[in-house]
A and B are shown apart, each in its own frame.
Chain A
Amino acid sequence: MTTEPSPFDLPGITWQRVSPRLVPARQIAVALTLVVPLLVGVVLAVLVHPAFWVLAGVVAVLWAWIAIVVVRQVRAIGYVEREDDLLIRKGVMFRNLVVVPYGRMQYVEETQGPLARIFGIKSLQLHTAAATTDASIDGLDPAEAARLRDRLASRGEARLAGL
């Protein structure tokens, strides 16, 4: 145990939050993946052997836990446009903070899946020449995504650097 301040709380920075509509979008995505094993567990438990209630129970507990974590995860996502770089923070258990200099961006990718379209949110992913750069922001308001995308593109152009 330690009393040290978290290295992720940078002084003098107010994080931009993403849209809370990301929470239901992610909840539905989780539900779509977990509903099948849950149903299988229930059906097996009813038809074959009551021991399969354990399977259904495990899935249900996992679902409940993920449902809680998703809320915290979405709250943990944050980004800041600084003068020369973009900071992206995410993760509750495994925390991650990425610093992407504008001049290093190769291109910006805007995506919107079917669920995201229903909830009216978009994702933005930044690509640098390094494949290991994991800089994506989920759950952006479409207007904010467009603004950020154009802003990043113009800033990137102004600060272009080679590899």
Chain B
Amino acid sequence: MSARSTAPELEPETGLAWRRMHPVTPVVRGWTVIAVLLFIVLQNSAENLGDLGEAADLARGVGLLWLLGGVAVVLLVVGLYCWVAWRFTRYAIGTDAVHLRKGIVFRQQKQARLDRLQAVDIVQPLLARAFSLAELKLEVAGGAGSGVAIGFLRRAEADALRAELLARAAGVDVAEGEEAPVAPERVLYEVPFGTTFGSVLRSFVTPVLLLLVVGVVVAVVVTSSAAPIFSLLPALFGFGGYVFQRLVSEANFVGAVSPDGIRSRSGLLETRSQTIPPGRVQAIRMRQPLLWRRKDWWRVDVTVAGYVLGTDTKEVSTLLLPVGPRATAFDALWLVLPDLGVEDPLALLATGLDGQGPDGGFTTSPRSARWLDPLTWRRNGYAVTGRCLVIRRGRLTRSLTLVPHERTQSLALQQGPWQRRLGLASVALHVTLGPVQASVHHLASREAARLLDEQDARARSARRAEGPEQWMRRVAPELVEQVEEEAQVDGTAPDGSAPDTVVPEDDAPRSVMPADVAPDVTATPDDAARSADEEFRA
């Protein structure tokens, strides 16, 4: 590959070409450690210098020498360690897996199966951005620590590698020494900074802070001294920290679609670019805190298998839209579920987002549920579409959860003693661990039993209808022709009938309106892994 910086070492037994990371990697990864060490050395030396303060200039000069020597030694040791660690860290891309070797004393070789690929992230911490480096993170849903992080690489290299991995995971063969075409990307929505900022200010912490301020003002007036103002400082710092934290991870959010999946980019200092291949989303939730209602803003979260389980993944990786008006939230929803499987999806969603009571296709809690759930019993409810189960919840913070039928792992019917008295029961849909939990609370027992039974059948038939896991194979027949044309233009001739490239831009899902969505790559029924028995053994 032309974009690769280091020459690969070919291992004859396995046929794998092992590559090293970018040489600057240790600096980017360990700069905090280096900084802390330097700080300690400097501080110690400064104290020593201070002790010698009354001595002559000569002694001062000797002290300075010691200081510089200490710094040099620390840098040398850390640098040596980093260099050795860098020497021992290598990665290779096989036909069906990514291999990573690391460790000096305890050697470790990790493999991530590409047909298990759940998501690919390109992460650029602030310092890495300065060097134009990026880290590639693969999530394969194999339990904690099963993800593979390849970093740091040059940004262009990381992009090329991502394209290659996604192409291989999709079932497209990429010959060694040949670039996988980078899938074209269509930006669907960008969240303006002002909106993100406003949304963070409209979170629950602001009223709490305002209450505190009012309390302090009252205290100041009553005691007629300025002392209580200082008690506000920690709260202000906390508030500032919270706002900053949210902004850092959620600002500059861009949602895009490409043939190899849903792309999202975000981050103020550290940027993250995530790709979720088609059909990897397990559940999706639209949510609206009370203070967003006047603006009609919504937040969209998704559950992707393997996220959250990993050690170093952050919550932002499950975000599809941090905040946006309803239309944008619908755009985000169409990204995942282009076809809800109902004639009038907008009407269904409107009922789901704002409605209450049993209108519009929703089955709701019976009146007896008001004893257990006085506030939300009118909103509690579910609707069934051809593709997914829609669960409506929440009165103050409204939420709507959609779980594709083929994504439910197991189902449960639950009933507590009070529910039994009132003739109620709850149904839980178990999906993989993530921010979205799907359960329908307080249905009439008969309705709950019916939902359990029917949902079981729906999930079963939806699973059977799933296509192969390598998602590009499903749509390959229609693509071969286009691919060959593309290849001739590019000058890279495809060998054989297998498609060697990804879909051209015209085939990117059009997802502004549900009726507008053609049966395209992301619109095909979700992927099918045939075997999953090796997973979650960690």
Write the residues of chain A forming the contact surface with B, with a CB cutoff of 8 angstroms. Answer: 1-2, 4-8, 10, 84-85, 93-101, 103-107, 127-135, 156-157, 160-163
Q: How far is the CA of A134 from the CA of B415 in the complex (A)?
A: 15
Contacts of A157 in B (CB 8 A): 533
A96:B535 contact, CB within 8 angstroms: no
10 additional contacts, CB 8 Å, given A95-B413, A95-B420, A106-B535? A2-B445, A6-B445, A7-B449, A94-B414, A97-B414, A98-B411, A101-B463, A132-B430, A161-B466, A161-B529
A104:B409 contact, CB within 8 angstroms: yes
Cβ of B191 within 8 Å of any chain A Cβ, yes or no, is: no
Secondary structure type dominating chain B contacts:
mixed
Residue-wise interface mask of B (456-475) relative to A, using a CB-CB cutoff of 8 A (1 in contact, 0 not)? 10011001001001000000
Contacts of B204 in A (CB 8 A): none
B414 to chain A, nearest CB (A): 5
Q: How far is the CA of A97 from the CA of B421 in the complex (A)?
A: 18
A94:B535 contact, CB within 8 angstroms: no
Cβ of B32 within 8 Å of any chain A Cβ, yes or no, is: no
Cβ of B532 within 8 Å of any chain A Cβ, yes or no, is: yes
Contacts of B410 in A (CB 8 A): 98-101, 104, 128, 130, 133, 135
The listed residue with most B CB atoms (<10 A of its CB), out of A5, A101, A163, is A163
The verdict on A162 contacting B527 (CB below 8 Å), with A7-B448, A98-B411, A101-B456 known, is yes
A132:B536 contact, CB within 8 angstroms: no
Contacts of A6 in B (CB 8 A): 415, 420, 445
A161:B411 contact, CB within 8 angstroms: no
The verdict on A93 contacting B416 (CB below 8 Å), with A2-B423, A99-B456, A161-B529 known, is yes
The listed residue with most B CB atoms (<10 A of its CB), out of A4, A131, A160, A161, is A161
Q: Which of B417, B428, B452, B463 interacts with A161 by CB under 8 Å?
A: B463
B452:A131 contact, CB within 8 angstroms: no
B305:A96 contact, CB within 8 angstroms: no
The verdict on A163 contacting B413 (CB below 8 Å), with A101-B460, A129-B305, A132-B430 known, is no
Cβ of B376 within 8 Å of any chain A Cβ, yes or no, is: no
The listed residue with most A CB atoms (<10 A of its CB), out of B412, B414, B459, is B412
Q: How far is the CA of A94 from the CA of B425 in the complex (A)?
A: 10
Q: 19 A–B contact pairs at CB < 8 A? A: A2-B423, A4-B445, A5-B445, A8-B415, A85-B460, A93-B417, A95-B413, A95-B414, A99-B452, A106-B533, A127-B536, A128-B409, A129-B536, A130-B431, A132-B430, A132-B433, A161-B406, A161-B528, A161-B530
A129:B409 contact, CB within 8 angstroms: yes
Contacts of A8 in B (CB 8 A): 413, 415, 449
Nearest 8 CB-CB pairings of A with B: A162-B529, A7-B449, A130-B430, A2-B423, A130-B409, A128-B409, A97-B413, A7-B445
A143 to chain B, nearest CB (A): 24
The verdict on A162 contacting B528 (CB below 8 Å), with A4-B445, A7-B446 known, is yes
B141:A129 contact, CB within 8 angstroms: yes
Q: How far is the CA of A77 from the CA of B305 in the complex (A)?
A: 31
Q: How far is the CA of A2 from the CA of B527 in the complex (A)?
A: 44
A126 to chain B, nearest CB (A): 8
A163:B432 contact, CB within 8 angstroms: yes
B409:A162 contact, CB within 8 angstroms: no
Contacts of B460 in A (CB 8 A): 84-85, 101
Contacts of B430 in A (CB 8 A): 128, 130, 132-133
The listed residue with most A CB atoms (<10 A of its CB), out of B280, B414, B422, is B414
B488 to chain A, nearest CB (A): 35
Contacts of B141 in A (CB 8 A): 129, 163
Contacts of A97 in B (CB 8 A): 412-414, 452
Q: Which of B416, B448, B533, B537 interacts with A94 by CB under 8 Å?
A: B416
Contacts of B421 in A (CB 8 A): 1-2
Contacts of A95 in B (CB 8 A): 413-416, 420
Contacts of A106 in B (CB 8 A): 532-533, 535-537
The verdict on A131 contacting B433 (CB below 8 Å), with A156-B533, A162-B529 known, is yes
Chain A residue at smallest Cβ distance from B453 = A10
Chain A residue at smallest Cβ distance from B305 = A163
The listed residue with most A CB atoms (<10 A of its CB), out of B407, B416, B423, B430, is B430
Chain B residue at smallest Cβ distance from A100 = B410
- B419-455, CB < 8 A from A: 420-423, 425, 428, 430-433, 437, 444-446, 448-449, 452-453
The verdict on A101 contacting B459 (CB below 8 Å), with A129-B532, A160-B533 known, is yes
Q: How far is the CA of A130 from the CA of B466 in the complex (A)?
A: 19
Cβ of B364 within 8 Å of any chain A Cβ, yes or no, is: no
Cβ of B317 within 8 Å of any chain A Cβ, yes or no, is: no
Chain A residue at smallest Cβ distance from B445 = A7
Q: Which of A1, A7, A130, A156 interacts with B415 by CB under 8 Å?
A: A7
Residue-wise interface mask of B (275-316) relative to A, using a CB-CB cutoff of 8 A (1 in contact, 0 not)? 000001010000000000000000000000100000000000
Q: How far is the CA of A99 from the CA of B118 in the complex (A)?
A: 25
